[in-house]
Structure 1
Amino acid sequence: MPDGIIDTARIHWRTLGHGPARALFLHPALAQSAIWRGIAEALDEEVTAIAPDMPGHGKSAPWEGGDIHDQVTAIAGQFLEDGMHVVGHSFGATVALRLAEAHPGRIATLTLIEPVIFAAAREAAPEAYAANIAAGRPAGEAFEAGDLEEAARLFTGRWGGGPDWSEIPAEQRARMASRMPQVMNSGPVLNDDTKGLLAPGALERVTMPTLLVRGAASDPVMAGICAGLRARLPDAREEIVADAGHMLTRTHAGEVAALLAPHLRAG
């Protein structure tokens, strides 16, 4: 499990699997590269994946401020190889999409798992988009008031898919609270598309086979996001994992791997 200096930040990454296909796995916010272990084990003989930890996560150096989406996109771009399969989950999926728009000729296939580019639902599912903005407001208010732990509790309650906040060890709660500035830093990108991921012609450049994966029990806005993306991506299909919520790479790794395997082979 090497680490190194990537784009001026000390970024840790791990190599998973031993297969001939090369892949780049990009994790969600408040998670780390280890979340991919279950999927990588299931695909061990088919894929060798590079999975970096974003700044302030896992074993990477702390985040020092700046535009987190720009930073993670630049870091991910340093790992990108010609012919790679790019797989992203949640925040990582929005970075994967940005890479695909910038480098369509270099990516064999794209997989977007629960992509939280909420702005994609604004036209496809306006009621779900508005409800999501409203539901996220209390966490934003707690953050603005300086209560990082309450912001983290509210955020993970919606998107974490794990145990109740009171059951999470105090050290882990503190770690998640410390990362809330990064989560909030990405809000304009995800809610308002300030990076132009949905600009005219942007999604249409993503010509590689694209798999959209969402959990059947995820927030309703996710169906709207996937519908908005699928309507414009040239070669996209959608798969829904039964009984799964937002964190399905952790909770339903086998099912996600079973969807990934034929998609990667086809590319």
Structure 2
Amino acid sequence: MAKIPTGALTTHVQQLPAGAAGGTVPEGEPPVVVLVHGLLTDSLASYYFTLGPALSAAGMDTVMYDLRGHGRSDRPATGYRLEDFVEDLALLLDGLGERRPVHLVGNSFGGTVAAAFAAWHPERTATVTMIESEPPVAAWAGHIADGLAHARRELVHQEAIDWIREHYGAHTARLSRTAGRILETTTLAEDVPAGRLIEDDLSALRCPLLAVFGGDSGLSAQVPELEAKLAECRTVVLPGQGHSVLVEQPGRTRNLVLEWVREHHARRTTAPAGAVV
């Protein structure tokens, strides 16, 4: 574990080099995978207990970090626009000395951050995997504004926390209480929906995109649009799953990400010099 300066803040990061989690180190330069978690109730821990060690064991340099305001990263009172999260990631990669194009895997809001990073830093992005996510377009901004406003109204009430504890357990209740504190003490709820967006036609997303959805979450309705607008897009819908795909289907998610990253890393390492992949 380490804390890396990222502008005026410090970001908590954990790296698992290829083979560090019990696998073998591959020949040649391994791919680097950066895991980006979701908002409010999430942290890098969700990846540490699901994808992170498996990716390392499979021969991939793996980076997990806490978003600003989350986990052990700094929690400023303001500065939560999407471009702030993207700049944090760029500065984190700089601080780690990482110059390879990265394979970004984002869960929920983390997928939105990953897509924005790919749009604004295409030269630094190999692929994007969005798990139960939306790209940062106008429709997303409306959805996230409504969701954050609802969370801020509800999570300040002890009755809501008690209901969460009764139905989802003490751990989820603690996470929800922390989310309420974040929303009370920062401008996150106002900032996130007001941030910079990409074009609705998704023309800024030029890297290969894997999108994984739960069939019952509603976000899978994006599949036809993503497949129509993006030059290289693979979509997977898991029947009977809601929004918690990463936690409830870690093995299936791991296999999808491994296959995707391996396929595109092989393309990059075998492509002729100067070729666009």
TM range (shorter): 0.7 to 0.9
Deviations 1:10-49 (A, max 9, x none): 2101113525220111100020011112112222223221
Question: Is 1:257 the counterpart of 2:254 in the alignment?
Answer: yes
Where in structure 2 are the equivalents of 1:177-188 lying within 5 Å?
Answer: 177-180=180-183, 181=186, 184-186=189-191, 188=193
Following TM superposition, by how much is the alpha carbon of 1:167 offset from its aligned partner in structure 2, in angstroms?
Answer: 4.0
Runs of 4+ aligned residues of structure 1 deviating over 6 Å after TM superposition are none
Looking at structure 1, the residues matched to 129 and 166 of structure 2 have their Cα atoms a distance apart, in angstroms, of 27
**Does the 8 A contact of 1:142 with 1:151 survive in 2?**
no
Looking at structure 2, the residues matched to 152 and 29 of structure 1 have their Cα atoms a distance apart, in angstroms, of 22
Looking at structure 2, the residues matched to 39 and 152 of structure 1 have their Cα atoms a distance apart, in angstroms, of 34
Question: Bigger CA drift: 27-36 or 236-245?
Answer: 236-245
- The 1:119–1:102 alpha-carbon spacing in structure 2 relative to 1, beyond 3 Å, is closer
Question: Is 1:34 the counterpart of 2:34 in the alignment?
Answer: no
Looking at structure 1, the residues matched to 92 and 106 of structure 2 have their Cα atoms a distance apart, in angstroms, of 14
Partner of 2:2 in structure 1? 2
Identity of aligned residues (%): 24
Counterpart amino acid of residue 149 in structure 1: V
**Does the 8 A contact of 1:88 with 1:113 survive in 2?**
yes
Q: Which entry has the higher C-alpha Rg, 1 or 2?
A: 2
Following TM superposition, by how much is the alpha carbon of 1:247 offset from its aligned partner in structure 2, in angstroms?
Answer: 2.1
Partner of 2:123 in structure 1? 105
**Does the 8 A contact of 2:52 with 2:64 survive in 1?**
no
Following TM superposition, by how much is the alpha carbon of 1:150 offset from its aligned partner in structure 2, in angstroms?
Answer: 4.3
Counterpart amino acid of residue 90 in structure 1: S
Counterpart amino acid of residue 36 in structure 1: Y
Looking at structure 1, the residues matched to 173 and 215 of structure 2 have their Cα atoms a distance apart, in angstroms, of 31
Looking at structure 1, the residues matched to 80 and 122 of structure 2 have their Cα atoms a distance apart, in angstroms, of 23
Partner of 2:90 in structure 1? 77
SS of 2:78 mapped into structure 1: coil
**Does the 8 A contact of 1:85 with 1:107 survive in 2?**
yes
Following TM superposition, by how much is the alpha carbon of 1:241 offset from its aligned partner in structure 2, in angstroms?
Answer: 2.3
Where in structure 2 are the equivalents of 1:185-196 lying within 5 Å?
Answer: 185-186=190-191, 188-189=193-194, 195-196=196-197
Partner of 1:164 in structure 2? 167
Give the TM-score of the pair, scaled to structure 2: 0.74
Following TM superposition, by how much is the alpha carbon of 1:206 offset from its aligned partner in structure 2, in angstroms?
Answer: 2.4
Counterpart amino acid of residue 125 in structure 2: I
Partner of 1:60 in structure 2? 73
Following TM superposition, by how much is the alpha carbon of 1:212 offset from its aligned partner in structure 2, in angstroms?
Answer: 0.5
Looking at structure 1, the residues matched to 177 and 61 of structure 2 have their Cα atoms a distance apart, in angstroms, of 33
Partner of 1:125 in structure 2? none
Partner of 2:64 in structure 1? 51
Following TM superposition, by how much is the alpha carbon of 1:111 offset from its aligned partner in structure 2, in angstroms?
Answer: 0.7
Following TM superposition, by how much is the alpha carbon of 1:229 offset from its aligned partner in structure 2, in angstroms?
Answer: 2.9
**Does the 8 A contact of 2:152 with 2:180 survive in 1?**
no
Looking at structure 1, the residues matched to 191 and 210 of structure 2 have their Cα atoms a distance apart, in angstroms, of 23
Unmatched 5+ stretches in structure 1: 123-128
